[in-house]
Structure 1
Amino acid sequence: MNEEIARRLREAAEAHRPDRATMLARVQRGMAGPTVRHRARPFARSGTRVALAGLAATGILATGGLAVAAIVAHSSPSPTVTTPATPSPTAGSPHPTSARPAPVAPAPATTPGSSRPTAPVTSPSPAAGESQNGALRSAGSVDPHSTVYWTQSNLALKTTQPLTSLTIEMRIVQTGGVRNTGTWQTLPSADFTVTAQEAGGTLVYRWVLKPGVTVPAGSFEFAAQFNHATGVRSAAGDGYRVDAQGTGGSASVRGGFVPTR
């Protein structure tokens, strides 16, 4: 008998489709209404009535449970679908961390043992009018204070070794009206024999170091001054030559005079 009742209850529960609104209203009325006391019935009742009463009570409980379950199922949130999360930025980082590192440009080639990129090394070209040989280095130029009537040709001479013999010669082409007006040098004038002579259409200035005198290592200047015909004079045909003897041997440099304006 009990198994039959249980089977029928299960079938009734499976076939039942509760009315949610009605069940809620009943539950609310039941909770708000006064408690109803039922008159106790005599114990001596027929077995059939007791069984029916049990069946009815069980049906009510099953129906109430199904109603509550329906309410709970309807009220529960729908399941959440989880998707792969994008990596969030780490603390102190302004951007999210990428799963793949950005491509890095290849670094310039470096010399073994050096952290700096190597670059083609080129030697500076000598400036116009400059010359170098052994311990001597020279540069000739036209003084920027020269005028349309008068010119000064400058020679900058540097030696890295003391010189026991030194001869400097400047040759100024006769372009018209060229005439010597003087010379000067940064070394003592008493250490040199200085001459200015014209020969073959050229004015030649010459400094010759006197015997027994030594020129120390350092930088020095020599200048030749002269008048010329009115106008801007070209120094294209002018030039100089230096011959020296020092502790490291002999050396010779030569060049021209480059305009500086």
Structure 2
Amino acid sequence: VRGEAPAQRPAATAPASREPGPLWSGAVVDPHSNEFWAQSNITVGTSARLTALTVELRVAQTGSVTSTGAWRSLPEDDFAFTVGERAGFLVYRWTLKEGRTVPAGEWVFAGQYNHERGGRDAGGDRYSATATAASGRHTVRGGFTPGG
């Protein structure tokens, strides 16, 4: 019915990725996504200061997927950002600029996109985060639960 808010769908979540070292992660399709638009949220956590960080979100091209924006909870000026189509994916990439650091904590990186009408299956979407801390280089990666 026109004028009614769209029905809320549960967020599609994937288990958090935890590797030995200071880095951990998790991913969710934002619960405010709707039948035309979605936001994929990646949370990257670190227990140590990072001197390098690259976060990549790969949104599978399931039909009419086009970027509408992106954001991160860390300062915008600390990151170089790119988005573009590559091998059947819309790829968002945030790269920490040289000389900048990421403090210990949990940080969100989000990609926003339009998609074909109806529920979008996020089962083919992936993310990764690679970081450098005093203990060395660390990588976490994961996906999103299908049907989100």
Pick one of 28, 32, 44 that aligns with 1:157.
44
Pick one of 136, 139, 155 that aligns with 2:26.
139
Question: How far apart, CA to CA, are the structure 2 residues paired with 1:184 and 1:237?
Answer: 22
Which residue number in structure 2 is paired with residue 166 of structure 1? 53
Question: How far apart, CA to CA, are the structure 1 residues paired with 2:51 and 2:83?
Answer: 23
Instruction: Give the CA deviation at 1:252.
Output: 0.4
More helix per residue = 1
Question: How far apart, CA to CA, are the structure 1 residues paired with 2:147 and 2:99?
Answer: 36
Q: How does 1:1-261 map to 2 (within 5 A)?
A: 128-133=14-19, 134-258=21-145
Question: How far apart, CA to CA, are the structure 2 residues paired with 1:185 and 1:249?
Answer: 24
Other structure's SS at 1:203 match: strand
Q: Look up the equivalent residue of 1:143 and give its one-letter code.
A: D
For residues 106-160 of structure 1, what are the alpha-carbon distances to aligned partners after superposition, in whole Å with 9 as ceiling and x for unaligned?
xxxxxxxxxxxxxxxxxxxxx8331012110100010000000000000111100
Question: How far apart, CA to CA, are the structure 2 residues paired with 1:128 and 1:203?
Answer: 19
Question: How far apart, CA to CA, are the structure 1 residues paired with 2:35 and 2:55?
Answer: 26
Question: How far apart, CA to CA, are the structure 1 residues paired with 2:45 and 2:61?
Answer: 29
Identity of counterpart residues, as a percentage? Answer: 50
Q: Is the 8 A contact 2:121 2:147 kept in 1?
A: no
Question: How far apart, CA to CA, are the structure 2 residues paired with 1:231 and 1:190?
Answer: 35
Which residue number in structure 1 is paired with residue 7 of structure 2? none
Q: Look up the equivalent residue of 1:159 and give its one-letter code.
A: T
Q: Look up the equivalent residue of 2:98 and give its one-letter code.
A: P
TM-score (ref. length: structure 1): 0.50
Work out the number of aligned pairs and report it: 135
Question: How far apart, CA to CA, are the structure 1 residues paired with 2:127 and 2:108?
Answer: 13
Q: Is the 8 A contact 1:137 1:157 kept in 2?
A: yes
More strand per residue = 2
Question: How far apart, CA to CA, are the structure 2 residues paired with 1:216 and 1:154?
Answer: 19
Question: How far apart, CA to CA, are the structure 1 residues paired with 2:49 and 2:146?
Answer: 30
TM-score (ref. length: structure 2): 0.87
Q: Is the 8 A contact 1:148 1:232 kept in 2?
A: yes
Question: How far apart, CA to CA, are the structure 2 residues paired with 1:182 and 1:192?
Answer: 15
Other structure's SS at 1:190 match: helix
- Mind listing any 5+ residue stretches in structure 1 that lack a counterpart? 1-126
> Computing the radius of gyration over CA atoms, which structure comes out larger, 1 or 2?
1
Instruction: Give the CA deviation at 1:260.
Output: 10
Which residue number in structure 2 is paired with residue 86 of structure 1? none
